[in-house]
Each structure stands twice: as structure tokens, then as C-alpha cells.
Amino acid sequence: MSNKLPFELTSVTPVSDSDFQRLLAEEQDGHGPSLQRWRLRRTTAAVEVWSKQDPTTGIDVIKGNILLNGISTEQALDMWTNVELRRRWDLSLDSIEVLESTTDSAVVYWTPKMFLCSKREVVQNVAVQKDPDKFVVVAVNSAHPKAPRQPGVIRAESLLSGVIIRPVGNNPASSRMTVLFQYDVRGWLLKCCVNSASARGPFYLHRLLTQYGGGYSPGNPRQ
């Protein structure tokens, strides 16, 4: 992955090798002596959620390990990165669109569904790294002229965002997704409330992914 991407607009933040390395390091963190930095929030047969407090921001880093039975690595990657598919299955989003794309990455604008508080928006440059044993998707905080700041809408900042998708043993029909994220949603929301809500995110993602992915295959998307 090159540090310089052929975007026409210089306001776009490039995705670098260090962004992929950081995501993979966070995935592996929590083993051995570093385990004490992580708190196990909740675990089920299919989902395990950990959190680690960032002393600088007070915002937790969330790590969710999600088992996707019956969803291959290729299916999971397509469902995560294909914006048309995201609109169909990801009910946590109010809207999502691609502002600009290259062969290496795409600038994506999205708004999460918010309840009883001001609307938020996020702009990210999203890139994919495909390795023989895994797919890595990194999203870095960015800006874009097609998404100017709007009055009454708070621009959230993604401090860490991405997923790692791996096969499950020798079963090509299933996969395991590790989702990592840390968002500064800004505004008046208490960080303790944000941290608590964020820890529930991987469970909701698992439900949405498995509900849609059970009858989906690349090239034959469900309506």
C-alpha cells in the first residue's frame, strides 16, 4: 500500500502501511502481559467484546471478535466494503455514500442513526489490504469538499476504525471478523455513555450481518 494515492483532491488523508500495522497490532494486543489493559465486557458463543481505555481521550478502544457462521471471508468483505450492500443490511446507518474512489481506496461519508441527540457525520478514507490468510480494512479520518460541515450536524472523528476478516479453521464457508473502533463523537454526550453504547456495537453488527448474510452471495445480493 503506497503512502500516496492518486486522489485529485489533496484534502483526502491517505491510508499508509502504518495504519494497517496499527490495526493488526491492536488485534493482537491483549495476549500475555498486555491482557491487563483490556476489560472483557461481554461474551457469547458468537461474539466477544473487549474494551481498553485511552487515558489521553477517555474514549474506549472497542474490540469485537465476531463469528460469522455460513459467511465466507469473501462474502464478509463484500458486505463490509460494498456501499450498496451496506445500505441494505446495516440498519445502524442513516446514510452512506462514496464521495470519491481510486483503485486503492475510497472516501466514504456516512451518518449513524442517533436518538435524542444531535446528528453526527463521519468522513473516512477506506482502504483494503488482501493477504493470503486475511483481509484488512482500514478507515482513517479524512475530509472532502463534497462533504462540507453542515450547521446543526456534529462532525465525529474516527481515532481508530477497521476490521480484520479471517477464515475459521478449514471451513471456507465461515469467517471470523475482528472489528476495532474508537470514535470521538464530540458534543455534550458523556464519554461514559459513549463507551457503554460502543461496547454493544459488535453484538448489533453480528445480528445484522448474520440476518442478511444467510441468503447472500457475491454476485447474487439479496434485496
Mean local confidence (pLDDT), 42-57: 94
- pLDDT of 195 higher than 80: yes
**How sure is the predictor about 181, in pLDDT bands with cuts at 50, 70 and 90?**
very high
> How many angstroms separate the Cα of 10 from the Cα of each of 2, 4, 13, 169?
15, 10, 8, 42
Q: What is the pLDDT of residue 116?
A: 73
For 164, the enclosing helix (H) or strand (E) is strand 157-168
Mean local confidence (pLDDT), 21-30: 92
Task: Read off the pLDDT of residues 86-109 as tens digits, 9 standing for 90 and up.
Answer: 999 999 999 999 999 988 899 999
The pTM for the full model equals 0.89
Mean local confidence (pLDDT), 54-58: 91
**How sure is the predictor about 8, in pLDDT bands with cuts at 50, 70 and 90?**
low
Q: What is the pLDDT of residue 215?
A: 64
Task: Read off the pLDDT of residues 132-153 as tens digits, 9 standing for 90 and up.
Answer: 999 999 999 999 999 999 999 9
Cβ neighbours around 85 below 10 Å, total? 19
**DSSP assignment string, 91-125:** TTEEEEEEEEE-SSEEEEEEEE--SSS-EEEEEEE
Residue 218: helix, strand or coil by DSSP? coil
